[in-house]
Amino acid sequence: MIVKKTEQPRRKPTAAKRGRVGSLRSIGVIRSGLKTRKEAPKQGAEGAPEAWLEVRAFAGPALDGLAEGDDIIVLTWLHQARRDVLKVHPRGDKSNPLTGVFATRSPDRPNPVGLHRVTVRQIGKNRLLISPIEAIDGTPVVDIKPVLSGVADF
Amino acid sequence: MIVKKTEQPRRKPTAAKRGRVGSLRSIGVIRSGLKTRKEAPKQGAEGAPEAWLEVRAFAGPALDGLAEGDDIIVLTWLHQARRDVLKVHPRGDKSNPLTGVFATRSPDRPNPVGLHRVTVRQIGKNRLLISPIEAIDGTPVVDIKPVLSGVADF
């Protein structure tokens, strides 16, 4: 039995919390030799390694149609990021002026979703070998999308 | 007073629900002349209009550093999408073979996060005029990221 304490005023939700729109579910996880944020490059193109993207069993059928050599976009949940940061010194360099996080690729932001353009190197049962990927070991994956056409920098 | 019915067995969570990793909060909303999925083009490059991205007050400071003419990536929460779909006929065309959603850009997918590359046309107080954007009016926005360099198709 749970007794609701009506005597206590409920804590007023913060502005950020009031706008909840949905829950992300892990569809997989990154298995990488990178174990900490400190050792990870800031972007994939800055010397990031390859890693396995292990897809959870329920989501395996959603991989059908992907092939080795495909360029894909992986969306991750940057689980070690801070969500209360609105401005940063870009690249963690204090000599760069404070900048809004929406004008940077800082992992610290209201919704820490990571965006990684990678190539599929190998396909196994419910897993993809991808590179280059700067996400650290254990990072949850929330979506995979094909690159639509051409060569993209982002 | 809330009485917890311990007599009833709790419903076993589905595999998809067990992997919850985080809640997305709206940082803004799309204000567009497109009112329904039916009238929206499937991709921005397919004739999508411009729209206002209204940013919530708490997130306004995170815009500092963005400028008119910038290419940005907008992540949305496709609130009308289905989350239980793992395979689709691409582009809704039954003559296309069933394909895993991770090999398509279908809005229906386990985590319906929309990815839109757009250009900033105009900047107002806590809002950006952007184009081209196929997201419909009322679509929650969850993140904005700068395009890193060059010209991208995705």
Taking residues B2-31, what's their average pLDDT? Answer: 74
Nearest-Cα residue of chain A relative to residue B142 = A111
pLDDT in tens, A86-112: 999 998 899 999 999 999 999 999 999
pLDDT in tens, B31-58: 999 999 899 999 998 899 999 999 999 9
pLDDT confidence tier of residue B151, bands split at 50, 70 and 90: very low
Q: For B111, which of A25, A73, A100 is closest by C-beta distance?
A: A25
Percent of chain B residues topping a pLDDT of 70: 85
Res B148: pLDDT: 83
Residue A120 contacts residue A73 (beta carbons within 8 Å): no
Residue A79: exposure state from Cβ atoms within 10 A (0-12, 13-18, ≥19): middle
Res A152: pLDDT: 47
Q: For A26, which of B19, B112, B146 is closest by C-beta distance?
A: B19
Does B69 reach chain A within 8 Å, measured CB to CB? no
Nearest-Cα residue of chain B relative to residue A138 = B21
**Binary contact (B4, A3; C-beta < 8 A):** no
Low-confidence residues in chain A, pLDDT < 70? 1-17, 149-154
pTM above 0.95, yes or no: no
What's A59's DSSP letter?
A: G
Average pLDDT of every residue of chain A: 90
Q: Which two tokens stand for residue A151?
A: 């060569």
Average pLDDT of every residue of chain B: 89
B77 contacts on A by Cβ (under 8 Å)? 21-22
Instruction: Work out the end-to-end distance of chain A between its first and last CA atoms, rounded to an integer number of angstroms.
Output: 52
pLDDT in tens, B105-138: 999 999 999 999 999 999 999 999 999 999 999 9
pLDDT in tens, A131-142: 999 999 999 999
B86 contacts on A by Cβ (under 8 Å)? 59, 61-62
CA distance readout (Å), A52 to A33, A41, A129, B16: 10, 17, 4, 21
pLDDT in tens, B86-97: 999 998 899 999
A3 contacts on B by Cβ (under 8 Å)? 1-2
A102 contacts on B by Cβ (under 8 Å)? 59, 62-63, 65-66, 72, 143-146
Residue A108 contacts residue A88 (beta carbons within 8 Å): yes
Cβ-proximal residues to A131 (8 Å cutoff; 6+ apart), any chain: A44, A48, A49, A50, A51, A118, A119, A121
**Does residue B18 surpass a pLDDT of 90?**
no
Res B10: pLDDT: 60
Does B42 reach chain A within 8 Å, measured CB to CB? no
